[in-house]
Amino acid sequence: MSNGLPMPVPAAGLPPRVRIHEVGARDGLQNEKTVVPTEVKAEFIHRLAGAGLTTIEATSFVHPDWVPQLADAESLFPQLADIPAGVDLPVLVPNGRGLDRALELGARRIAVFGSVTESFAKANLNRTVDESLAMFAPVVAKARAAGLHVRGYLSMCFGDPWEGPVPVDRVVTVARRLLDLGCDELSLGDTIGVATPGHVQALLTGLNGAGVSTDALGVHFHDTYGQALSNTLAALQHGVTTVDASAGGLGGCPYAKSATGNLATEDLVWMLEGLGIETGVDLGRLTATSVWMAGQLGRPSPSRTVRALSHQEQ
Active site residue 253: yes
Q: Minimum distance from CB of 187 to Mg ion (Å)? A: 9
> In angstroms, what is the minimal distance from the CB of 229 to Mg ion?
15
Distance CA 207, CA 187 (A): 12
Q: How far is the CB of 234 from Mg ion (least distance, A)?
A: 18
Query: Which of residues 27 and 118 has its CB atom nearest to Mg ion in the complex?
Result: 27
CB 228 within 8 A of CB 221: yes
Binding residues among 52-91 for Mg ion as defined by CB under 5 A: none
For residues 210-236, one letter each, b for 16 or more C-beta atoms within 10 angstroms of the residue's C-beta and e for the rest, the string is: eebeeeebbbbbbbbbebbbbbbbbbb
Q: Distance between alpha carbon 142 and the CA centroid of its chain, in Å?
A: 23
Whichever of 24 and 98 has its CB closer to Mg ion, that residue is 24
Binders of Mg ion among residues 20 to 49 (CB under 5 A) are 27
Smallest distance from the beta carbon of 189 to Mg ion, in angstroms?
Answer: 6
* AA letter at 2: S
- 129, 140, 253, 291: the catalytic one is 253
Rounded Cα distance between 245 and 113, Å, is 16
223 touching Mg ion, by CB under 5 A = no
Write out the E strands in 98-148: 109-115
Element (H, E) at 309: helix 304-313
**98 vs 261, beta carbon nearer Mg ion:** 261
Which residues have CB under 8 Å from 110's CB, separation 6+? 90, 91, 92, 93, 99, 102, 139, 143, 148, 149, 150, 151
Residue 191 or 287 having the CB closest to Mg ion: 191
Rounded least distance, CB 33 to Mg ion, Å = 16
Q: How many residues bind Mg ion (CB under 5 A)?
A: 2
Shortest spacing between CB 291 and Mg ion, in angstroms: 21
The residues in 227-286 that bind Mg ion, with binding defined as CB under 5 A, are 262
The H or E element containing residue 168 is: helix 168-181
Residue type, 84: P
C-beta atoms surrounding 202 within 10 Å: 13
Name residue 151's beta-bridge partners.
111, 185
Nearer to Mg ion, 227 or 262 (CB): 262
Using the minimum distance from each CB to Mg ion, give the nearer residue, 32 or 184.
Answer: 32
**Site residues (vs Mg ion, CB under 5 A):** 27, 262
Active site members: 253
